[in-house]
């Protein structure tokens, strides 16, 4: 591919001519960064008996999530135990990069209420020594860029054994624009990260509020204004018709690719929201006839009863399911949306009466025996409406987060390749 004037080709793509692209080893040799280090291997690595509920955070690869270090969800060791370790002492401002098993996750260590954190051998820290030549925020964004991630993961290999040790990391390329341009890029991308973090916190808060509302409203602990009186307790089998799924015994081509949606657990677990609008496969009338399954009406509750027990969605049109389902068809007077939310709170009850060795399954009989307390139809509809509004609000926030993430990816592609310059070369050299 021809490189346009003013740009040059590097291991991580085309960048402006005046930007440097140097190996990690050179950054260490020039005292721009300290030599990268990870945690202790072998016998000196902390044992499970060393871990506590508080103390010095011991950060593993799975504690680096969405560009942040999860210091609340990690394990801890005592300061005395940490002092016996030889390396892996990471401080605020260090850029972390996971290099074993889960590879390529990156974050900056935030301000700490302890002197340091300890790293597992899965995580490397990069510590900037000369802030006039390299900005840690820029380095973290560069580590998260698609060109670097592709190179890193290809060198590390794939699967659960993916690994790129310190010696090989020293040969990794790092692009290095002038420092004022690094700062401008880091600030722009950091602002988007702050927006994403704010959306994550808001979504988590809204989810917690919804869980609390479900707990209170679906049990009658709190009643919506205007409603009173006792709720009825009935077996689930007395409330709704429970319909088992089925599967054709052969893969006869005439049975498939027809006009009827064919639902499997993958269709249920693979998407967000409470409605099932699409399925991966369809079945023909002949296939349905030979499957032992029934054609379910729109509005049926598609409840997984095998392996992923308790996952549920509402069908938006006629559909049939495989044998991994016990679907529910609601009669007049029973809100399918109310029952949908009610079933979400009953997963543990379903699991407690499931059976099986290879995978768990709940029988039609055991499912039908589960007791459900329900209010009159008008209160069912009112409760479902409140929870649906919460779902709508969450979906809007999640869509906004998705768009913001896409925006950040586009910005990274532009800014970390120099296609879009926040500071001109003349201004950088002034």
pLDDT recorded at residue 271: 77
What pTM, to 2 d.p., does this model score?
Answer: 0.86
Pair 249, 351 in one domain: yes
Work out the mean pLDDT of the chain and round it to a whole number. 94
pLDDT recorded at residue 307: 87
Pair 33, 154 in one domain: yes
pLDDT in tens, 39-49: 988 778 888 88
Binning pLDDT at 50, 70 and 90, where does residue 180 land? very high
What does the alpha-carbon distance between residue 128 and residue 85 come to, in Å, rounded to a whole number? Answer: 22
CB of 102 within 8 A of CB of 61?
Answer: yes
Query: Which structural domain range is residue 297 located in?
Result: 232-374
Check pLDDT > 70 for residue 427: no
Check pLDDT > 90 for residue 159: no
Pair 90, 144 in one domain: yes
Burial class (CB in 10 A: 0-12, 13-18, 19+), 26: middle
Check pLDDT > 60 for residue 127: yes
Pair 24, 167 in one domain: yes
Copy the structure tokens of residue 413: 């592609």
CB of 118 within 8 A of CB of 81?
Answer: no
Binning pLDDT at 50, 70 and 90, where does residue 1 land? low
- Any domain includes 226: no
DSSP state of 53: S
Pair 45, 127 in one domain: yes
How many domains are there within the chain? Answer: 3
Check pLDDT > 80 for residue 426: no
Look-up of token digits 């380095």: 139
Look-up of token digits 């926040």: 422
Give the residue from 429, 423, 426, 424 showing the smallest Cα distance to 185: 423
What share of residues in the chain are helix, strand, coil (percent, to 5)? 40, 25, 40
């Amino acid at each position: 591919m021809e490189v346009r004037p003013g740009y040059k080709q590097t291991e991580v793509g085309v960048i402006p001519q005046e930007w440097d692209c140097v190996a990690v080893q050179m950054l260490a040799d020039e005292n721009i960064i300290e030599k990268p280090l990870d945690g202790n291997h072998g016998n000196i690595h902390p044992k499970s008996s060393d871990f506590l509920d508080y103390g010095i955070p011991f950060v593993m690869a799975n504690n680096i999530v969405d560009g942040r270090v999860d210091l609340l969800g990690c394990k801890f060791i005592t300061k005395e135990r940490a002092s016996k370790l030889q390396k892996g002492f990471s401080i605020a401002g260090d850029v972390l990069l996971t290099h074993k098993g889960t590879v390529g996750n990156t974050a900056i260590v935030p301000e700490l209420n302890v002197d340091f954190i300890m790293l597992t051998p899965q995580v490397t820290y990069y510590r900037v020594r000369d802030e006039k030549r390299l900005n840690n925020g820029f380095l973290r964004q560069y580590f998260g860029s698609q060109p670097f991630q592709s190179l890193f993961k290809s060198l590390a290999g794939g699967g659960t054994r993916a690994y790129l040790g310190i010696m090989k990391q020293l040969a990794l390329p790092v692009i290095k624009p002038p420092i004022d341009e690094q700062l401008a890029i880091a600030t722009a991308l950091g602002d988007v990260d702050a927006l994403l973090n704010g959306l994550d916190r808001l979504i988590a808060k809204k989810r917690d509020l919804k869980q609390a509302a479900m707990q209170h409203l679906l049990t009658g602990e709190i009643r919506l204004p205007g409603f009173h009186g006792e709720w009825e307790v009935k077996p689930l089998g007395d409330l709704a018709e429970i319909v088992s799924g089925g599967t054709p015994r052969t893969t006869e081509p005439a049975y498939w690719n027809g006009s009827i949606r064919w639902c499997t657990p993958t269709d249920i677990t693979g998407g967000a929201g409470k409605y099932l609008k699409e399925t991966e496969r369809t079945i023909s009338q002949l296939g349905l006839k030979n499957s032992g399954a029934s054609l379910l009406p729109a509005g049926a509750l598609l409840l997984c009863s095998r392996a992923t027990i308790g996952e549920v969605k509402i069908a938006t049109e006629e559909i049939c399911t495989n044998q991994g389902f016990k679907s529910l068809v609601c009669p007049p007077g029973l809100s399918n949306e109310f029952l949908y939310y009610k079933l979400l709170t009953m997963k543990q009850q379903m699991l407690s009466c499931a059976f099986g060795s290879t995978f768990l399954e709940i029988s039609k009989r055991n499912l039908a025996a589960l007791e459900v307390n329900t209010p009159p139809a008008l209160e069912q509809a009112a409760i479902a409406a409140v929870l649906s509004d919460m779902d709508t609000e969450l979906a809007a926030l999640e869509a906004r987060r998705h768009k913001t993430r896409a925006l950040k990816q586009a910005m990274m592609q532009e800014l970390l390749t120099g296609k879009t310059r926040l500071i001109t070369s003349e201004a950088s050299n002034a």
